[in-house]
């Protein structure tokens, strides 16, 4: 690990954070260096290639000045100031290696080492320890402190003294966290972990307890361990620790890694860059990459630690087929599986027509893979029957933002949040769903930005350490449009809109029509309060805060889109942003928080049945021409089937075959029974996945998938950033997913000859204007780029609509509130809304197969104490949750996070199947299902519902595997 001792590469620690400011020139050890004003002497020295010894400083944290190892001499100043806390000044002359500072450093180091165990050779941080490095750098050769013979030397590291008496200062290791240990005996109390928890993650779970020699890092209060504390296991403390005090268990077990590959996390839409650190092809740890532009060196528990699913024993590595779904699986060769699938699909097309089969692309696979799957439908199947899981999440974003702004994507980059003054978070729970973004948002909030939360549930952002929402509009589920329109009503009627901006950037006539609409008294907060449950004065105050508070940014999630009026709310949000002049610069904008790692990319790549790559309608002759020339086949001008249409058609007997890559529609799509009926009616269901997921219970062909660690490609995150995914190990299943799709296509006669995803990207660039400039060489050079990337924007586009909206004039659209057909009534008096939590991801296929289950072992139903009492439900009771669609059982958790009349659960566990409950109502424009509103009843229960029992039995039968024939 030479690179840790002499880290010359770009990842070396600069000691203190970068600053922006006017250039200042100074001299350090005779070298002239120019840095921005406000930079520390330590960082300036690092810029000049001079590493000043340090222990308590690291460039992810503000300087602290406690270790006194980084002292320097500055001409004309008295004493030996700490270089980390001393800002540069023009003409300053610094000496980092004078005899005086060298003596001080040696003395400091000697004191540190006198209370540190000398077990370096058997220490997990051996070779990756800054204390070790610094002892070397200062030339420590001797520790003069010897124990008095009668009492022994007070220390923190020896469990017993030489007489065998227990050392009261020694504390045992805390290994309560599943992923890392805290060994107090190795701690040098530099506070880096505590500061990382505060400054970087914003959880404030750690502290230094006691003072002086008694100072100890403490998770939570006395009596807490890491697991019982507020710790969210983001890993920032482990990352910051200079010693083995906080150490990944994987490193303890496997040893320090010897090589690393920069790649992109495959969990949420934040798209964090990570260094995958390995020995050979064995992954040792994932470390957030400090130059990652989405995460800036931060991570969450999923990306940092929950990668064990990649080698989980449940993973299927051999292809399998069966004639009927009541038969056990047979393991076969790749050739046989692909041949079987291709023959069946072609057979179905011959019998039932060209349009009787289709594909579902995956938002977890790469852009290149998604492109190939939709190409399979369009060029090989000869139809447009392609859809993707964005159907069930952000399709209204595509529609709504497309209509108002002209593009289907967020307007900002994540860095933009550092410049925002007022934030609206609506229908999103960033601390759980998009944790790294949440940490960046919380940092800005601690700096003084104001927060407005619009959510039926009191999410953590409403009130958590050092962060409190200025306004929480706890609306009734399903009334987003009414609330957003009421906000606009206040802004327009009180004259708080940015008229100059609207006149310049938007269509004035449309605005006037819109203004007249929202000014109608029936849209006033007073008129809608009864409907939305939001007090009028609170809503008015929120509207004023947003309109007058400076840079206003709106971040939203599936609580906006997954409604019968999802698209309308998206347009309402766009209206609000235009109304207040908040699109087109840093710190503002409309920012959908995308759920999955590549849901943005899968939409960009033409996964929708009506759009070719780049959101261009299949009806357009010019666009079809491009693909006809590129692919040599005619493209069907008729849009294909959406997922719900495929399932309806399957039940009707006209849709017979499906190739479903990396998505578990049975668990994730609404109205599980209907999905199951649709799948059961098909004659060839091909599931291409890592695990035998719930959908695979109805499949005839199972093609084992590869993980993000096993292939080359790109993911596009919520800020339109195209990040490279790099292969760090060979696919355990034998092939990367793009190769498998290609084999299937070729078995159906396609004749594809891709040898690397870069060739697929070249095809994407050649056919799709917003990707025209994207090449792997560019990504290699820039690290990442945000589309549009083309001749006009060769380096990509961090901010959209800067000089004007993509569609020309921004378009205000009237947003009439129409109540959903899903209503509460005497039989179903409560409203169920769904969401997710930090430690689990989506349907849990990955995270349920990691130690993350320690935080969330089952889905629970959150219910208000009032509603619980009415039903005689106590905390932890089994309850039956029933809707018009179905019922399930789960445990109740009584909490006032939800309002009376509202219950909440997550959908991470297949044995709960929250989607048995959800209805098949959907967004009027895009069919995005209305997951967020279901009328339900809750009653005490003894155990699993009939459906759960039948389902469990069916799943067990469907998962039988016969061993491969010898």
Partner 1 sequence: MPQTPAQPDIAELSALIEAHLHLEGPLLPILHALQAAHGHIPEAALPLIASALNITRAELHGVISFYHDFRTAPAGRHVLKICRAEACQSMGATGIAEATLKKLGLDWHGTTTNGAVTVEPVYCLGLCACAPAAMLDDRVVGRVDAAKLDTLLAEAGA
Q: How many other C-beta atoms are found inside a 10 Å radius of the C-beta of residue 617?
A: 13
How far is it, in rounded angstroms, from Cα 295 to Cα 289?
8
Using CB under 8 A as the binding rule, whether residue 167 contacts partner 1 is answered as no
Site for partner 1 in 456-495 (CB under 8 A): 463-468
Residue 651 in the binding site for partner 1 (CB under 8 A): no
Taking the least distance from each CB to partner 1, the nearer of 205 and 650 is 205
Shorter beta-carbon distance to partner 1: residue 210 or 328:
210
Residue with tokens 């010693």: 243
Q: For residues 451-484, b (16+ Cβ closer than 10 Å) or e, as one string?
A: bbbbbbbbbbbbebeebebbbbbbbbbbbbbbbb
Task: Decide: is 220 part of the binding site for partner 1 (CB under 8 A).
Answer: yes
The smaller minimum CB distance to partner 1, of residues 209 and 677, is found at 209
For position 166 contacting partner 1 by CB under 8 A, the verdict is no
Position among 222, 313, 324, 500 found at the interface with partner 1 (CB under 8 A):
222
Output the smallest distance, CB 329 to partner 1, in A.
50
> In the complex with partner 1, which residue's Cβ is closer, 6 or 221?
221
Shortest gap between Cβ of 444 and partner 1 (angstroms)? 16
- Indicate whether 205 belongs to the interface with partner 1 (CB under 8 A): yes
CA dist list (Å): 118 to 185, 249, 254, 650: 11, 21, 21, 69
With CB under 8 A as the contact rule, which of the stretches 222-230, 453-461, 471-479, 506-514 interacts with partner 1? 222-230
User: Least separation, in Å, of the C-beta of 210 and partner 1?
Assistant: 5
Determine if the peptide bond prior to 788 is cis (ω within 30°). Answer: yes
- What's the min distance (Å) between Cβ of 64 and partner 1? 15
Query: Which of 774, 780, 800, 792 lies closest to 371, judged by CA?
Result: 774
| Cα gap 626→635, rounded to integer Å | 10
Question: Binding segment for partner 1 among 218-226, 275-283, 642-650, 773-781 (CB under 8 A)?
Answer: 218-226
The nearest distance, CB 420 to partner 1, in angstroms, is 21
Contacting residues for 396 by C-beta, under 8 A, at least 6 apart: 560, 561, 566, 567, 569, 570, 923, 925, 926, 928
* Binding residue for partner 1, selected from 33, 61, 125, 219, defined by CB under 8 A: 219
Crossing angle of helices 757-767 and 621-631, in 10° steps, is 150
With CA atoms as reference, report the closest residue to 375 among 716, 768, 734, 695: 768
To the nearest whole angstrom, how small is the minimum distance from the Cβ of residue 158 to partner 1?
22
Closest CA to 695 of 647, 729, 735, 741: 647
Among the residue ranges 50-58, 118-126, 215-223, 358-366, the one whose residues contact partner 1 (CB under 8 A): 215-223
Minimal distance, residue 432 CB to partner 1, in Å: 18
Site for partner 1 in 834-873 (CB under 8 A): none
For the CB of residue 450, give the shortest distance to partner 1 in the complex, in Å. 15
> Of the two residues 432 and 636, which places its CB atom closer to partner 1 in the complex?
432
Stretch that binds partner 1, among 20-28, 82-90, 224-232, 634-642 (CB under 8 A): 224-232
* Cβ-based nearer residue to partner 1, 79 or 168: 168
Shortest Cβ distance from residue 110 to partner 1 (Å)? 23
Closest CA to 199 of 275, 296, 342: 296
- What are the backbone dihedrals phi and psi of residue 698, each rounded to the nearest 5 degrees, phi first? -110, 15
Check: CB of residue 585 under 8 Å from CB of residue 623. no
Write down the least CB distance from residue 410 to partner 1, Å: 30
Smallest distance, partner 1 to C-beta of residue 695, A: 42
**Three-class HEC string of 351-388:** HHCHHHEEEEECCCCCHHHHHHHHHHHHHHHCCCCEEE
Q: Does 204 bind partner 1 (CB under 8 A)?
A: yes
Instruction: List the beta bridge partners of residue 936.
Output: 830, 883
**Distance separating alpha carbons of residues 857 and 878, to the nearest angstrom:** 15
Nearest in space to 736 (alpha carbons), one of 780, 691, 705: 705
Total residues in contact with partner 1, by rule CB under 8 A: 23
Binding track, positions 73-102, relative to partner 1; x by CB under 8 A: ------------------------------
- Per the rule left: phi > 0, alpha: psi between -120 and 50, beta: everything else, 662 is left
Answer yes or no whether residue 526 interacts with partner 1 by CB under 8 A: no
Pick out residues in 404-463 that bind partner 1 (CB under 8 A). 463
Structure tokens at 493: 């009627």
Residue 297 beta carbon to partner 1: minimum distance, rounded to whole angstroms = 23
Per-residue binder mask for partner 1 (CB under 8 A), 27-66, x = binder: ----------------------------------------
Q: How far is the CB of 188 from partner 1 (least distance, A)?
A: 18
Closest contact distance (angstroms) between CB of 194 and partner 1 is 8
When the beta carbons of 218 and 363 are compared against partner 1, the nearer one is: 218
Q: Is 208 or 961 the residue whose CB approaches partner 1 more closely?
A: 208
Question: 552, 422 in Cβ contact below 8 A?
Answer: yes
Q: Which positions from 631 through 650 interact with partner 1, judged by CB under 8 A?
A: none
Distance from chain centroid for Cα 627:
33
Tokens of 325: 């779904």
Q: Kindly state the tokens that stand for 412.
A: 């900002």
Stretch (H or E) spanning 620: none
Helix H or strand E segment including 103: helix 99-114
Q: How far is the CB of 220 from partner 1 (least distance, A)?
A: 5
Q: Map tokens 């400090």 to a residue.
A: 290
Is residue 360 within 8 A of residue 732, CB to CB? The reply is no
| 210, 328, 808, 876: which one binds partner 1 (CB under 8 A) | 210
- Does 203 bind partner 1 (CB under 8 A)? Our answer is yes
Binder of partner 1 out of 201, 229, 707, 716 (CB under 8 A): 229
Backbone angles phi, psi at 336, to 5 degrees: -70, -40
Alpha helix (H) ranges present in 376-449? Answer: 395-404, 430-433, 435-446
Residues 6+ apart with CB under 8 A from 268: 302, 433, 434, 435, 594, 595, 596, 597, 841
Which residues 6+ apart lie within 8 Å of 908 measured at CB?
836, 837, 840, 841, 842, 843, 844, 847, 848, 856, 859
> 191 or 263, CB closer to partner 1?
191
Which CB atom, from 114 or from 215, has the smaller least distance to partner 1?
A: 215
Stretch in the footprint of partner 1 (CB under 8 A) among 214-222, 414-422, 481-489, 590-598 = 214-222
Residue 207 sits in the site that holds partner 1 (CB under 8 A)? yes
| Sheet (strand 386-388) strand order | 386-388, 357-361, 657-661, 684-689, 701-704, 320-321, 329-331, 961-962
- Evaluate whether 441 touches 417 at the Cβ level (below 8 Å): yes
Kindly state whether residue 218 participates in binding partner 1, applying the rule CB under 8 A.
Answer: yes
Taking CB under 8 A as the criterion, the residue among 67, 125, 206, 736 binding partner 1 is 206
- Give whichever of 93 and 470 is closer to partner 1, judged by the CB atom: 470
Give 231 or 863: the residue with its C-beta nearer to partner 1: 231
Q: How far is the CB of 153 from partner 1 (least distance, A)?
A: 20
E strands within 7-46? 23-28, 31-36
Tell me which stretch binds partner 1 (CB under 8 A): 219-227, 387-395, 687-695, 818-826.
219-227
65-73, 211-219, 240-248, 654-662 -> range binding partner 1 (CB under 8 A): 211-219
Q: Whole-angstrom Cα distance, residue 327 to residue 334?
A: 20
**Contact between 965 and partner 1 per CB under 8 A:** no
Least distance to partner 1 from the beta carbon of 301, Å?
18
Chain contacts with partner 1 (rule: CB under 8 A)? 203-211, 218-222, 224, 229-230, 463-468
């Amino acid at each position: 690990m030479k690179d840790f001792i002499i880290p010359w590469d770009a990842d070396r620690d600069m000691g203190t954070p970068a600053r922006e400011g006017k250039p200042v020139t100074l001299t350090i050890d005779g070298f002239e260096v120019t840095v921005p004003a406000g930079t520390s002497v330590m960082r300036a020295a690092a810029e000049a290639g001079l590493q000043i010894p340090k222990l308590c400083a690291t460039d992810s944290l503000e300087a602290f000045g406690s270790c006194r190892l980084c002292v320097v001499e500055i001409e004309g100043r008295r004493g030996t100031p700490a270089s980390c806390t001393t800002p540069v000044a023009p003409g300053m002359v610094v000496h980092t290696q004078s005899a005086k500072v060298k003596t001080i450093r040696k003395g400091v180091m000697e004191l540190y080492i006198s209370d540190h165990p000398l077990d370096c050779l058997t220490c997990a941080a051996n070779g990756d320890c800054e204390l070790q490095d610094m002892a070397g750098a200062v030339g420590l050769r001797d520790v003069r402190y010897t124990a008095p013979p009668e009492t022994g030397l007070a220390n923190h590291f020896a469990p017993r003294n030489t007489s065998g008496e227990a050392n009261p200062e020694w504390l045992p290791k805390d290994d309560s966290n599943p992923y890392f240990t805290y060994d107090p005996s190795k701690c040098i109390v530099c506070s880096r972990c505590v500061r990382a928890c505060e400054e970087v993650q914003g959880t404030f779970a750690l502290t230094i307890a006691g003072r002086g020699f008694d100072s100890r890092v403490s998770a939570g209060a006395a009596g807490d361990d890491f697991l019982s504390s507020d710790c969210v296991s983001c890993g920032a403390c482990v990352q910051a620790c200079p010693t083995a005090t906080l150490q990944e268990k994987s490193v303890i077990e496997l040893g320090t890694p010897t090589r690393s590959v920069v790649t992109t996390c495959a969990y949420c839409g934040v798209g964090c860059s990570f260094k995958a650190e390995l020995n050979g092809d064995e992954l040792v740890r994932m470390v957030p990459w400090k130059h990652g532009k989405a995460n800036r060196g931060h991570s969450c528990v999923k990306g940092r630690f929950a990668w064990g699913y990649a080698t989980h024993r449940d993973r299927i590595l051999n292809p399998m087929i069966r004639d009927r779904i009541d038969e056990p699986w047979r393991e076969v060769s790749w050739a046989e599986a692909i041949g079987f699938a291709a023959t069946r699909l072609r057979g179905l097309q011959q019998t039932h027509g060209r349009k009787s089969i289709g594909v579902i692309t995956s938002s977890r696979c790469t852009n290149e893979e998604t492109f190939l799957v939709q190409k399979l439908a369009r060029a090989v199947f000869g139809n447009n029957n392609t859809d993707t899981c964005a159907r069930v999440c952000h399709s209204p974003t595509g529609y709504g933002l497309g209509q108002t702004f002209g593009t289907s994507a967020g307007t900002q980059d994540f860095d933009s949040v550092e410049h925002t003054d007022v934030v609206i978070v609506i229908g999103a729970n960033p601390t759980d769903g998009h944790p790294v973004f949440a940490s960046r948002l919380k940092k800005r909030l601690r700096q003084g930005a104001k927060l407005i939360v619009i959510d039926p549930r009191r999410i953590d952002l409403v009130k958590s350490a050092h962060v409190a929402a200025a306004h929480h509009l706890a609306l009734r589920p399903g009334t987003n449009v009414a609330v957003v329109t009421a906000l606009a009503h206040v802004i327009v009627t009180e004259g708080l809109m940015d008229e100059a901006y609207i006149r310049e950037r938007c269509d004035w006539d449309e605005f006037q029509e819109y203004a007249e609409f929202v000014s109608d008294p029936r849209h006033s907060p007073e008129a809608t309060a009864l409907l939305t449950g939001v007090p009028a004065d609170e809503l008015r105050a929120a509207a004023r805060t947003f309109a007058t508070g400076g840079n206003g940014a709106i971040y939203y999630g599936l609580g906006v889109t997954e409604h019968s009026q999802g698209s309308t709310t998206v347009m309402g949000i766009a209206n609000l942003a235009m109304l207040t002049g908040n699109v087109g610069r840093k710190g503002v904008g409309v920012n959908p928080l995308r759920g999955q790692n590549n849901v943005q990319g899968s939409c960009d790549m033409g996964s929708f049945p009506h759009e070719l790559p780049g959101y261009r309608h299949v009806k357009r002759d010019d666009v079809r021409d491009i693909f006809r020339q590129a692919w040599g086949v005619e493209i069907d001008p008729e849009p294909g089937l959406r997922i719900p249409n495929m399932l309806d058609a399957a039940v009707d007997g006209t849709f017979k075959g499906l190739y479903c890559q990396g998505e578990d529609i049975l668990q994730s799509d609404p109205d599980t029974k209907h999905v199951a009926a649709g799948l059961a009616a098909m004659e060839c269901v091909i599931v291409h996945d890592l695990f035998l997921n719930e959908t695979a219970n109805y499949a005839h062909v199972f093609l084992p998938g590869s993980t993000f660690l096993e292939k080359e490609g790109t993911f596009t995150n919520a800020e339109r950033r195209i990040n490279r995914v790099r292969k760090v190990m060979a696919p355990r299943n034998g092939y990367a997913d793009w190769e498998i799709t290609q084999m299937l296509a070729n078995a159906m006669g396609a004749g594809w000859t891709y040898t690397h995803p870069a060739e697929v990207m070249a095809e994407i660039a050649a056919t799709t204007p917003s990707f025209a400039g994207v090449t792997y060489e560019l990504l290699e050079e820039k690290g990442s780029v945000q589309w549009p990337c083309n001749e006009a924007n060769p380096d990509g586009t961090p901010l959209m609509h800067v000089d004007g909206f993509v569609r020309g004039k921004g378009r205000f659209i009237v947003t009439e509130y129409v109540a959903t057909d899903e209503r509460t009534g005497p039989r179903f008096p409560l409203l169920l809304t769904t969401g997710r939590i930090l430690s689990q991801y989506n349907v849990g296929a990955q995270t349920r197969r990691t130690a993350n289950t320690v935080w969330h072992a089952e889905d629970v139903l959150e219910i208000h104490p009032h509603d619980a009492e009415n039903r005689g439900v106590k905390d932890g009771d089994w309850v039956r949750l029933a809707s018009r669609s179905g019922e399930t059982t789960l445990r109740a958790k009584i909490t006032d996070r939800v309002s009376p009349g509202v219950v909440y659960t997550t959908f991470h566990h297949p044995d709960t199947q929250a989607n048995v409950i959800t209805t098949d109502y959907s967004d009027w424009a895009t069919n995005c299902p209305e997951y967020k509103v279901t009328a339900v009843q809750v009653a005490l229960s003894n155990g699993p519902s009939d459906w759960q029992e039948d389902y469990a039995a069916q799943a067990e039968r469907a998962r039988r595997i016969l061993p491969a024939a010898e």
